[in-house]
Amino acid sequence: MGKCNSCDKSAKNISNTIGFCADCIRVRFDNVWPQIKAVHDRSRRAYGLPENPPNAVDGVACGLCVHDCKIPENSVGFCGLRRVKNSRISGGRPHEGNLSYYYDPLPTNCVGDFVCPGGTGCGYPEYAATKGPEYGYKNLAVFYHACGFNCLYCQNYHFKTKTFYAQKLTSKQLAHAVDQKTNCICYFGGDPTPQILHAVKTSKMALKYADHRILRICWETNGSMQRPFLTMMADLSLSSGGCIKFDLKAWDEGIHLALCGVTNQKTLDNFRILARWTDQRPEPPFLIASTLLVPGYVDEPEVENIAAFISSLNPEIPYSLLAFYPQFYLSDLPTTSKSHALRCKAVAEKSGLKNVRIGNVHLLGKDY
């Protein structure tokens, strides 16, 4: 049972780690943020990551993501990967990918498998090898060991130990991992943003080697990249039959900051930009959204606002609601209950979305 340090409300879905309920975060954000920020700072110090995006007057500009870090000599950016030495920035360039990869048989447990060619065969024959799920083919899953967010519930937080110490792989080496049975590449993590230069170069090389056979370029991202790189990603996915999956973690900026340590405004702006492209290729869907239903924090009002936002752009955009499992610093919350998920699905559909799905149903818990 958690307790809010502001209103004294007690409930199973209040995290003692965060220390405040969702209502108090929304209404009294300026008062509660210093204590929540201290939790984020502590979680970053544990992995040797900077507490704040560097903004040195004489620093070298990174320019890849929302933080727009100005990195001083012998220091790193907020992601922990981009670093400056001898006044030159490195980390995540095309010849130095900090990543691991594996082959995932299709159809996968991908966020977009319920609408993508690999899971459904939609887009056949231009973008899919079969009329149904692509059994016998595989996805090259590329996990990048860096991220510009600091989610307290990160499901893959182990990557933080590899941000500084992973084996480097060039774009050419990764592109050669694509074989004749690889029908898609999915970049995730962490997040692809800090290493977007590496991912774009890999994609272009892999598509060239594929020589016009089916090879979809897909992304799972927090959507925090700067506009030029967003356009690069979109061009690759749109032309190859791939999709871009944005994780819209929360609607209220205070809730988003509390959970992820970073504003959501860049993510929403980028999603709005990509939505303008969706009519260029209705099938398979170019843009997909997902939200993790964090008990007590990502509730019906959050989902209703996110869904209304998506619907106002294009009600055909698929939306996946994902079950939460306690991890990392939010291990004191329950799993998403079935009733929570169903209520959120109902409000998303009521907001006008035509394709809403509950994912990770095996993780759904009992009501609380």
Question: Does a structural domain hold residue 29?
Answer: no
* pTM for this prediction: 0.96
Q: What is the model's pLDDT at position 109? A: 84
Domain of 275 in residue numbering reads as 97-363
Q: What is the model's pLDDT at position 38? A: 98
Q: What is the model's pLDDT at position 166? A: 60
Question: Does a structural domain hold residue 290?
Answer: yes
Question: Does a structural domain hold residue 109?
Answer: yes
Q: What is the DSSP string of 143-197?
A: EES--S---TT-TTGGGGGGTTTPPEE-HHHHHTT--TTEEEEEEEES-SGGGHH
Question: Does a structural domain hold residue 27?
Answer: no
* Mean pLDDT of all residues belonging to the chain: 96
Question: Does a structural domain hold residue 127?
Answer: yes
Q: What is the model's pLDDT at position 361? A: 87
The domain tally of the chain equals: 1
Among the ranges given (5-14, 221-230, 341-350), the one the predictor scored with the smallest mean pLDDT: 5-14
Question: Does a structural domain hold residue 86?
Answer: no
The pLDDT of residue 172 is above 80: yes
CATH number at residue 314: 3.20.20.70
Q: For residue range 255-290, what is the model confidence (pLDDT) as tens digits?
A: 999 999 999 999 999 999 999 999 999 999 999 999
Question: Does a structural domain hold residue 59?
Answer: no
Question: Does a structural domain hold residue 340?
Answer: yes
Q: What is the mean pLDDT of residues 147-168?
A: 87
